């Protein structure tokens, strides 16, 4: 009797594990791997009008580059030109956004499109990233690399 109960318990936990594994595999396979611009990913006006406190601090760009290579280049590429699942940061659609908008997007991420939140970075480091994004060389098609809205 005891053995039968023990066997049933063991079978129960095996089934639980199997279901959990299948669930994990299914979700992983269902991840979005193709980047599309998300029109719904809009920062609030209060965030858009914020200015970069490091805007005049050109010495902070180097640190921004270091952070970019560490935190962003895996998806956006070393030059920021994007990969299959991340935005090309040289595009005018990106560069024309205000510093505040870019800061908000780095801080909050976009869960629907796989962009993680970087709120774990100190605030000044996120502004350093914005500063560095402005320095990325403009692509041939982008006419004005650093316009603010």
Partner 1 sequence: MRRVTRYIFLFMLAALPAWAQESPYFVTYDHHLEEPGNLEVETQSNAGFPRHSEPSYFAPYIELEYGITTRWTSELYLEGQSRSGDSTIFTGWRLENRFRPLAREHRINPILYFEYENINEASRIQKEAPGHATEFNVPNSESRHIRAHELETKLILSSDVHDWNISENFIAEKNFSHNEGIEFGYAFGVSRPLGTIASAANCHFCRENFIAGAEVFGGAGSTQAFGFQDTAHYFAPALSWQVSDNSSLRFSPAIGLTSKSAAVLLRFGYSYEIRGFKDKLAGLFRSKQP
Which residues of the shown chain bind partner 1 in the complex (CB under 8 A)? Answer: 13, 16, 20, 24, 27-28, 31, 59-67, 69-70, 74-75, 107-112, 114-117, 119-120, 122-125, 128
Q: Taking the complex as a whole, how short is the minimal distance between the CB of residue 139 and partner 1, in angstroms?
A: 24
Cα 92 from chain centre = 18
d(CA 100, CA 44): 10
Q: Taking the complex as a whole, how short is the minimal distance between the CB of residue 99 and partner 1, in angstroms?
A: 16
The residue (of 73 and 139) whose beta carbon lies closer to partner 1 is 73
Q: Calculate the alpha carbon distances from 86 to 43, 82, 89, 138 in Å.
A: 18, 5, 9, 17
d(CA 130, CA 68): 9
Q: Taking the complex as a whole, how short is the minimal distance between the CB of residue 105 and partner 1, in angstroms?
A: 11
The residue (of 83 and 137) whose beta carbon lies closer to partner 1 is 83
Cβ pair 65, 129 in contact under 8 A = no
Q: Taking the complex as a whole, how short is the minimal distance between the CB of residue 27 and partner 1, in angstroms?
A: 5
The residue (of 14 and 147) whose beta carbon lies closer to partner 1 is 14
Cβ pair 116, 70 in contact under 8 A = no
Q: Calculate the alpha carbon distances from 50 to 37, 66, 93 in Å.
A: 23, 24, 19
The residue (of 118 and 139) whose beta carbon lies closer to partner 1 is 118
Closest CA to 134 of 100, 109, 86: 100
Q: Taking the complex as a whole, how short is the minimal distance between the CB of residue 37 and partner 1, in angstroms?
A: 17
The residue (of 116 and 137) whose beta carbon lies closer to partner 1 is 116
């Amino acid at each position: 009797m005891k053995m039968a109960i023990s066997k049933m318990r063991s079978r129960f936990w095996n089934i639980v594990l199997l279901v959990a594994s299948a669930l994990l595999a299914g979700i992983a396979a269902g991840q979005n791997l193709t980047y599309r611009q998300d029109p719904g990913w809009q920062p609030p006006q209060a965030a858009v009008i914020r200015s970069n406190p490091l805007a005049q601090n050109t010495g902070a760009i180097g640190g921004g580059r270091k952070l970019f290579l560490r935190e962003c280049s895996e998806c956006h590429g070393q030059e920021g030109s994007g990969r299959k699942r991340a935005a090309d940061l040289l595009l005018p659609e990106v560069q024309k956004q205000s510093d505040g908008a870019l800061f908000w997007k780095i801080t909050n991420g976009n869960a629907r499109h796989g962009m993680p939140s970087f709120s774990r970075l100190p605030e000044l480091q996120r502004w350093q990233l914005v500063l560095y994004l402005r320095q990325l060389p403009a692509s041939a098609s982008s006419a004005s690399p650093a316009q603010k809205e």
